[in-house]
Structure 1
């Protein structure tokens, strides 16, 4: 990739020598990260709300909803990963004070979002033949299909949100992202409750109602973020929708060149968990419902280091754009300390009170839930063990994205998840007959391997040539 596309350079006279101490970096990183953290938690709460409501319908509906999301989410997050390339590109352009590049990156981000959503839509609508081939229960397939058919259109606004969020985050407007996401949680809870159970004169749509609510809330959030970006004086100067039809092929290609490996990295991880859900489905409804509950708790905790990672991409990207080696060092390691520190606390909580936590999702007084509750508590205890690895790998991956380093991390993730994690999960779960416990131990092994290699790669970034465009003497990079 050319330096112009991948590494916007500092304008003449821009300072490229960091004057930020560790304490200042920690405060600035936390100030940028905490709204993103809460926004990620709120974003996860959207699905958590649906999981709780589907659980109220019964284990059959919860299992079907889990299957539907196990199929839909990998494709959605693959698209999110591709469009996520807008974040480091805008951050690098800001660090280089390249206003024209910011405008063009955002516009081409919308182009990429529309293209990716259009390509993914027909794929996700083919859920029935895929699940039938995988031997899933016919009733569960029918229910899962109803969910996907009702909500697949959410791909368009969901990917559009990533473009606007990347712009806002690169300019430290993360509180607005938080406010809009919280608004989305409220809208989702009201609409989902109304449509799932048929309240206030609306028909009872059950799983279809949950899907429709998810699509509606994504549309509302996208329109709110877009309106803010178009009207706020700080962003009006970018004119992101003016002459929207005009292509900028260099930036369009840059988004896919950087974003495709990100998308495949995300797909490798999410795909691993989706395959785990399919394996759980072969063990039985109780195992699958328990897996859904434990995974929801683990993914809720994961939102915190993910938010830290998003901030790390911005902080590292800005430092990279202005040619600041020391800033890159401090931004990356500060984020790693924050992310793994939080996950150490969640590890303790998961190990200490698993029964209490899983009781939030399944009625502990209903005898029909006894087996699922016990299994969910066991899986959550294992999830607590790999919390540190999960936090470290996501922050390290995002820090590397700030350097536009995405291809090698992609291969490392694929190897770690699919050549290590999945085989271990299958052998322990089915060959040794450890069932769900073995599957979760395989997930833990895959995460641990990826965490080790990605943190090591960030630590060795100079020896690996990841900073070759950043001057050693702190001078302004050459165009």
Structure 2
């Protein structure tokens, strides 16, 4: 990254950072996309089992990656302030912390998975597939969390194309592994939906290996000699990283866990609704990668400008990102609603489930319009290291407004499972408005 002096230069640098991030995010989320699509072509029970497992796994998984992503504004501000000698120590401590978090997650999952599934009261086959899917995924959490540290290292420098290339390589690997283990090809066991967890877990190790290779062999990362010296664990550094990362991860948990909670509520409507809801959610998650990528780009660029004390440039980037996200979200909503039938066909050939998927997709598209405003503002605030209020606003919009509104609409009105989606749309829209007010306050305060 470099200092920019005109709007044209800012637009150019914005897209240089954004496009690789977007391709990276699409590649990352496509693992879940292919897990779901391929499970849907095994059986309805396999799709539902993977759906339940994913609804339990992804909120926790995403929130921990959010905690690790707290490294991005830390490193980008150090980079902008030209304090490069401090960066290797920050990276090593991030690696220690990521592995510890992964181990704690595995231990907690082992302790609580059975009680959680007893509450769900799923069909025996769906229950078994979901449990074994989660068991397989557990073997890959430590390597993917460690890979997340290296990814933040690269992204904070603006070299987002490296993480893009790594994740592009990971996608065909994941598809191939799924193919082997889900359908039992070339002598491998036929595991159905469980094979999706096995294939994805193996892919996580591949991603870690590629990240290590880049950091050790390619410039400018190899000049930092990350692995050349031993650093003792530093509780103070962990605390500093967690002070930034925990609010980010907690806000992400509020957002992602709300979808997990809704997925659990969907279990009372039967296997068909579970499968259709998961298919629509899976698709809308793919679309969400656009505002999320813009959000991540803003964190990097705003953090870089704030570190260099260029407040006006940071403000210009924030306006640019929010405007672009709103334009793209609105345009996609118009286009995608015309193709909901074709989208549903990707997930299932069952006529009943297909119609349910189409209905859910309509709500999912409107959900993305709200996200198109909310996500880039969150990313901008993270670049300013303003993360605590963002977390509290996430709790308010998702859990105090969104989920209760959805529950009321679903159970006390005639909307049924669609009521939960309506509640989410309301909650995210309210959150976007409140985040906008917070951003204006932060910018005015810094301007003096």
Give the TM-score of the pair, scaled to structure 1. Answer: 0.90
Say whether 1:218 aligns with 2:208.
no
The within-5 A match list for 1:392-407 is 392-407=373-388
Residue of structure 2 equivalent to 1:445? 426
Counterpart selection for 1:276 from 251, 259, 262: 262
The within-5 A match list for 1:142-161 is 142-161=128-147
Q: 3-state DSSP class of the match of 1:200?
A: helix
The 8 Å contact of residues 130 and 194 in structure 2, kept in 1 or not, is answered as no
The 8 Å contact of residues 35 and 177 in structure 1, kept in 2 or not, is answered as yes
Residue of structure 2 equivalent to 1:193? 179
Residue of structure 2 equivalent to 1:8? none
The within-5 A match list for 1:374-393 is 374-393=355-374
Residue of structure 2 equivalent to 1:414? 395
Q: CA deviation at 1:237?
A: 2.1
Residue of structure 2 equivalent to 1:38? 23
Say whether 1:424 aligns with 2:410.
no
Whole-angstrom CA distance in 2 between matches of 1:19 and 1:121: 45
Query: What does the per-residue CA deviation read over 1:12-47, in whole Å, with 9 as the maximum and x for residues that have no partner?
Result: xxx9xx752222211111110001101111111111
Counterpart selection for 1:59 from 25, 44, 54: 44
The within-5 A match list for 1:13-412 is 20-125=5-110, 126-363=112-349, 369-412=350-393
Whole-angstrom CA distance in 1 between matches of 2:230 and 2:64: 21
Whole-angstrom CA distance in 2 between matches of 1:194 and 1:19: 49
Q: How many residues align?
A: 446
The 8 Å contact of residues 38 and 304 in structure 1, kept in 2 or not, is answered as no
The 8 Å contact of residues 298 and 380 in structure 1, kept in 2 or not, is answered as yes
Whole-angstrom CA distance in 1 between matches of 2:67 and 2:23: 23
The 8 Å contact of residues 34 and 308 in structure 1, kept in 2 or not, is answered as no
The 8 Å contact of residues 143 and 204 in structure 2, kept in 1 or not, is answered as yes
The 8 Å contact of residues 136 and 282 in structure 1, kept in 2 or not, is answered as no
Q: CA deviation at 1:244?
A: 3.5
The 8 Å contact of residues 315 and 443 in structure 2, kept in 1 or not, is answered as no
The 8 Å contact of residues 71 and 127 in structure 1, kept in 2 or not, is answered as no
The 8 Å contact of residues 42 and 193 in structure 2, kept in 1 or not, is answered as no
Q: 3-state DSSP class of the match of 2:189?
A: coil
**Most deviating of 338-347 and 397-406:** 338-347
Whole-angstrom CA distance in 2 between matches of 1:293 and 1:19: 42
**Most deviating of 42-51 and 18-27:** 18-27
Q: CA deviation at 1:124?
A: 2.5
Q: CA deviation at 1:362?
A: 0.8
The 8 Å contact of residues 428 and 439 in structure 1, kept in 2 or not, is answered as yes
Query: What does the per-residue CA deviation read over 1:223-276, in whole Å, with 9 as the maximum and x for residues that have no partner?
Result: 101111111131122122233442344332111011111111011011100011
The 8 Å contact of residues 26 and 286 in structure 2, kept in 1 or not, is answered as yes
For structure 2, the residue ranges without an aligned partner over 5 or more in a row are: none
Query: What does the per-residue CA deviation read over 1:290-343, in whole Å, with 9 as the maximum and x for residues that have no partner?
Result: 111111111100011111111111100000111111111011111112222221
For structure 1, the residue ranges without an aligned partner over 5 or more in a row are: 1-14, 364-368, 473-479
Whole-angstrom CA distance in 2 between matches of 1:206 and 1:244: 43
Query: What does the per-residue CA deviation read over 1:417-453, in whole Å, with 9 as the maximum and x for residues that have no partner?
Result: 0010001111111121311211111111111111111
Residue of structure 2 equivalent to 1:5? none
Q: CA deviation at 1:373?
A: 1.2
Whole-angstrom CA distance in 1 between matches of 2:267 and 2:53: 12
What is the RMSD computed on CA atoms of the aligned residues? 1.6
Give the TM-score of the pair, scaled to structure 2. Answer: 0.96
